[in-house]
Amino acid sequence: MHFKSVASVVILAAAVIGFFVTQSPQANAGEITVYTSLEEPEIADYLAAARKDMPDLKVNVLRMSTGDLGARILSEASHPRYDVIWGWALTNMMDPRIQALLVPYQPKGLQRMPAQFRDAGGKWFAPTGYMAALCVNTDRLKRKGLPMPTGWSDLLNPAYKGEVVMPNPASSGTGYLQVVSILQGMGGEKGWDFLKHLNVNVAQYAKSGSRPCNMASTGEYAVGASSAIVAMEAVKQGYPVKMVIPKEGAGYELEANALVAASTHKHDAERFLDWTISDSAVKLYGKYKEIVGIAGVRHSADETAVGLPADVKKVLFPMNFKQSMETRSQTLARWQREIEHH
């Protein structure tokens, strides 16, 4: 009895100590840590290609949603332990507290990118982006006898009352870009008027950007405003869903890359950043991305099959990211006051 209890205490202690000793090391030479908000399936594809091009470089990736990653980056700001921010919403990256963590770097081949896709100061460049899109459940449309909408203004039709879901701009970046594109597109007060009218038909403002489309997929609501990438995924999975790019022009967000000032593996980090605009990367962007900041990219047959226009740039609304970042808190405060709580 006595022996048994002593033995079990020893085993227990050994297990706990052994567990604590399994340390996770910081990245070694030839190894970098990357923070990203790109989607999981595309990340796997990009990394496989990167490994082929740079066999001596190990890329450790941490993926979090845009907002969560922002909170984490700010919390770690005193001692960043990663080297690169990869594919993160430009609006969030424009935050001066984030800019302070970055250091300018001009990757090889940057001149291939138009000016709107890179920072004049060299702190970020955005090879890809995503845009807003509506997920429309055709099954529910039929059951409720509703017409197929073609853009935001169609959704003012009283027939859609209680059938529209949008992301809440206060919690979701996708939601914010939708609101901003409407405000910037229609211009100031006219835009606010439009949002107020739209609000009459909106059943709820969901807390995440992908949720409206997910809800439309399972038939909870007829129309869910999300991003094109989520909409295409829903179509691909086989849901009775049609992707609609708003005819007024789709709001969009750029996914920016940047070098972290505190990086202890700058050389490897720079190699990786170079790679993100290399030919083999750009070739893959066509498979996943609606918006590519490098000329000459063809969208895959898959993408056009599910309703992506061949020339996306024509449907994009020309967004002003600097303004959208700077007016964020005022816009959201007014939105909460006049729209959400009304």
Please report, as residue ranges, which positions from 157 to 186 form the binding site for other proteins (by CB under 8 A).
Answer: 168, 170-172
Residue 22 tokens, joined: 């399994």
> Which residue type is seen at 334?
R
Considering the complex, what minimum distance in angstroms separates the CB of residue 48 from other proteins? 10
Residue 26 tokens, joined: 């910081």
Residue 52 tokens, joined: 């082929």
Binding of residue 9 to other proteins (CB under 8 A): no
Q: Which is nearer to other proteins, 44 or 148 (CB)?
A: 44
Residue list 233-252, contact with other proteins (CB under 8 A): 233-234, 237-240
CA distances (Å), origin 40, targets 43, 87, 229, 242, 300 = 5, 12, 12, 23, 19
- Considering only residues 49, 54, 57, 63, which one is a binding residue for other proteins as defined by CB under 8 A? 63
- Considering only residues 49, 64, 156, 159, which one is a binding residue for other proteins as defined by CB under 8 A? 64
Residue list 21-50, contact with other proteins (CB under 8 A): 22-24, 26, 33, 39-41, 43-44, 47
Q: Are 99 and 91 in contact (CB under 8 A)?
A: no
Binding of residue 326 to other proteins (CB under 8 A): no
DSSP one-letter code for 156 = G
For the chain, the C-alpha Rg in angstroms (whole number) is 23
Q: Which is nearer to other proteins, 117 or 239 (CB)?
A: 239
Total residues interacting with other proteins, rule: CB under 8 A: 71
Binding of residue 83 to other proteins (CB under 8 A): no
- Considering only residues 99, 153, 204, 300, which one is a binding residue for other proteins as defined by CB under 8 A? 204
Residue list 91-150, contact with other proteins (CB under 8 A): 92, 95, 97, 139-140
- C-alpha 73/C-alpha 80 separation (Å) is 8
Binding of residue 264 to other proteins (CB under 8 A): no
Beta strands in the chain (DSSP E): 31-36, 58-63, 84-89, 102-103, 125-137, 164-167, 202-206, 223-227, 241-244, 252-260, 291-292
Q: Which residues contact 283 (CB under 8 A, 6 or more apart)?
A: none
- C-alpha 157/C-alpha 169 separation (Å) is 22
Q: Are 291 and 254 in contact (CB under 8 A)?
A: yes
Binding of residue 297 to other proteins (CB under 8 A): no
Q: Are 92 and 259 in contact (CB under 8 A)?
A: no
Considering the complex, what minimum distance in angstroms separates the CB of residue 114 from other proteins? 28
Binding of residue 271 to other proteins (CB under 8 A): no
Binding of residue 75 to other proteins (CB under 8 A): yes
Q: Which is nearer to other proteins, 150 or 199 (CB)?
A: 199
Q: Which is nearer to other proteins, 95 or 274 (CB)?
A: 95
Stretch that binds other proteins, among 190-198, 199-207, 249-257, 283-291 (CB under 8 A): 199-207
Considering the complex, what minimum distance in angstroms separates the CB of residue 54 from other proteins? 17
Residue 37 tokens, joined: 């908000």
